[in-house]
Amino acid sequence: MRPDTRVVHTAVPDLTGSRPLAVPLYQTSGFAFTDADTFADAMNRPDGAFVYTRLGNPTVRALENAVADLEGGAAALATSSGMGAINAVLLATLSAGDHVIAQRSLYGGTHALLRDMEARWGIEVTFVGGHDPAEVRAALRPRTKVLYLETISNPTGHVSDLAALSEAAGDAVVVVDNTFATPLLCRPIEHGADVVVHSTTKYLGGHSDVTGGVAVFADADRHRHTWHHGIELGVTPDPFAAWLMIRGLRTLALRMRRHVENAAVLAHRLVEHPSVRAVHWPGLPTHPSHEVASKLLDGFGAAFSFDLADAEAGRRFVSALELVHLAPSLGGTETLVLHPAGTSHRQLSEEELTEAGISGGTIRLSVGVEDPDDLWEDIAQALAG
Ligand SMILES: *Cc1c(COP(=O)(O)O)cnc(C)c1O
């Protein structure tokens, strides 16, 4: 079946004679056994009987199976946040003294985590532009364990050539944060990724009402290994959070189509506006990633940035908006803006900000599913004010 159908038809448990239409919420912390051997076996593997919700839960499993299916992976590990998924994957993969190659324009939290791992665990990190396979090849060392990429980066809309970079990474585990693209626009495992991570807080949940994450593994052994670390870290989601994410997933295809259509409308109007210096949406032919994005993505995404003259113009703009909210996060039904230099990327130094393509006047827009003319009217009045 096609992705638009698969997001709606999440597998539900079979009862005797009938099946629930929605995935039931198993709001329980544990499970009772009649057989001690079944109990013992369940403690040691992710695919045994359910025993304790930190190790596994039927509602959480339904979410994991649905996202693994959409991404074309063997299995998934759902977590309590996107950072939980990223931590579980990196801590399960890296040991002291290992080396990571990471794309320079990363989500701020991931960047801070890698810096912390460098300072405290002796893990070395080389940042690369993320366009050039030769740069990845040149950065490889005997202890390179991870190549870390984002399908569409925040906030400049850089799109990585996943296949070429994965190929260049040799034996390193290729981890791709696919939050901005979702499996509807890109499935990184098809392009050589070993692990895909998501903040399901964003598009997969889609309604700004739940925090969560998921890691999808191309290989079942890597899933099992990471599951062991994940349960030690305690990054398991609550069943109700998983239930909300499954509900969000059902409309993912509809929402993504509208998000991307609206983003196209706003990006084209912003380009024409005299107060706007640059628009960083990969759907624009002038964007440096446009060619790669056209090949890799089934849609150019709906969270992107544009540049106003300076920090003062940026502050004035975000304060003058009336319909569009000034708020963190992205991927919900409502349109949001933020000012990265002062918020999401505040951990970065001046030099790192410039390297990541962010200036004082950069505005990040997460385009929602409202009527695009209402959005444009609000943006235009705020730009004029
Ligand atoms: C939000 C986000 C994260 C972190 O996810 P949380 O759910 O906030 O922990 C990681 N990567 C990207 C690209 C994000 O947008």
What residue ranges line ligand 1, CB within 6 angstroms?
81-83, 107, 109-110, 150, 154, 177, 179-180, 199, 201-202, 211, 213
Å from CA of 107 to ligand 1 middle: 7
Q: What is the pLDDT of residue 130?
A: 85
Å from CA of 109 to ligand 1 middle: 7
Q: What is the pLDDT of residue 17?
A: 85
**Contacting residues for 75 by C-beta, under 8 A, at least 6 apart:** 46, 47, 64, 68, 216, 217, 220, 223, 224
Per-residue pLDDT tens listing for the chain (385 residues) = 999 999 999 887 777 788 899 999 999 999 999 999 999 999 989 998 999 999 999 999 999 999 999 999 999 999 999 999 999 999 999 999 999 999 988 898 999 999 999 999 999 999 998 889 999 999 999 999 999 999 999 888 999 999 999 999 999 999 999 999 999 999 999 999 999 999 999 999 999 999 999 999 999 999 999 999 999 999 999 999 999 999 999 999 999 999 999 999 999 999 999 999 999 999 999 999 999 999 999 999 999 999 999 888 998 999 999 999 999 899 999 999 998 876 767 777 778 777 767 888 999 999 999 999 999 999 999 999 7
pTM to 2 decimal places: 0.95
Percent helix, percent strand, percent coil in the chain, to nearest 5? 40, 15, 45
Q: Tell me the pairing of strands 303-307 and 362-366.
A: antiparallel
Distance CA 7, CA 57 (A): 20
Indicate the top mutation candidate among 103, 199, 345 to test ligand 1's pocket, ranked by most ligand atoms within 8 A of CB.
199
Instruction: Spell out the domains of the chain, with CATH numbers in brackets.
Output: 3-249 (3.40.640.10), 252-384 (3.90.1150.10)
